[in-house]
Chain A
Amino acid sequence: MQQEEIEDQNEAKETQNSKVYELGYLLVSTIPEEDVPVIYGNLKELISSLGGNAISDEIPKMIPLAYAMVKVVNNVRNKFNTAHFGWIKFMMDSDKVLELKKKLDLDPNIIRFLILKTVAENTIAAKRFMRTDTRNRRPRILKNEDNENVAPINKEEIDKEIDALVVS
């Protein structure tokens, strides 16, 4: 009975300590496209080995970088203008995150990574917010109304007028 209570307490402690984190990372562009899922799988495995529960993620995809980044591997400076960008959202004990960081620091496939505290809900806003600013647009309905008021063109009258002009 007592043991059960202690276990319950431990479980409660774990859930209290575990927080939602997000790991964003850039993989070196020299990795062939078919090997990317393997590295992505290894990262997920690493997180679960440290007691993390993945909530959501995105498979790394090739992106152009906004500026050139340098990574030193075996005393050689490598410059990158493109990289595979991916992210994983997971729940993990706050004590284990430092361990995760230390392991990722040693990974030769990662150019840079970022671990952030976040929320479990989907944080990427839907595309519908990406509308253009409608305030500066002029209403065009008025112009159409003006056109409707124009009298229909009478061909005979125009012909007569043209003749008159030609004669004079």
Chain B
Amino acid sequence: MKQDYFSANNIKYIDYKDVEILKRFLNPNGKIISHKRTGVTSKNQRALASAIKHARFLGLLPFVVK
């Protein structure tokens, strides 16, 4: 992913309920993929990390996958 996914798809607000989108940015262990590999802009990467953490808190995404 070289280009920013969110700008490319015109997503202005990263929602924690959009689990299918957030899952793309998790590695097989459930960790957040680094900004270097995702190609997402710094601003969006910060919003993405918060959204994933909110989704984890509500049990929509796992903290770890064993």
Interface residues of A (CB under 8 A from B): 24, 26, 63, 65-67, 69, 83, 85, 87, 112, 114, 116, 118-119, 121, 123-125, 129-130
Contacts and interface: CB of A to CB of B under 8 A. Distances in A.
B13 A119 contact: yes
A67 B11 CA distance: 28
18 contacts: A24-B16, A24-B17, A66-B56, A66-B60, A66-B61, A66-B62, A87-B17, A112-B57, A112-B58, A114-B58, A116-B16, A118-B13, A119-B13, A123-B15, A125-B15, A125-B18, A125-B21, A130-B20
B51 to A, nearest CB: 10
Contacts of A114: 16, 54, 57-58
Nearest to A125: B11
Contact of B11 (A66, A83, A129): A129
Interface string B31-45: 000000000000000
A124 B62 contact: no
Contacts of A129: 9, 11, 21
B21 A24 contact: no
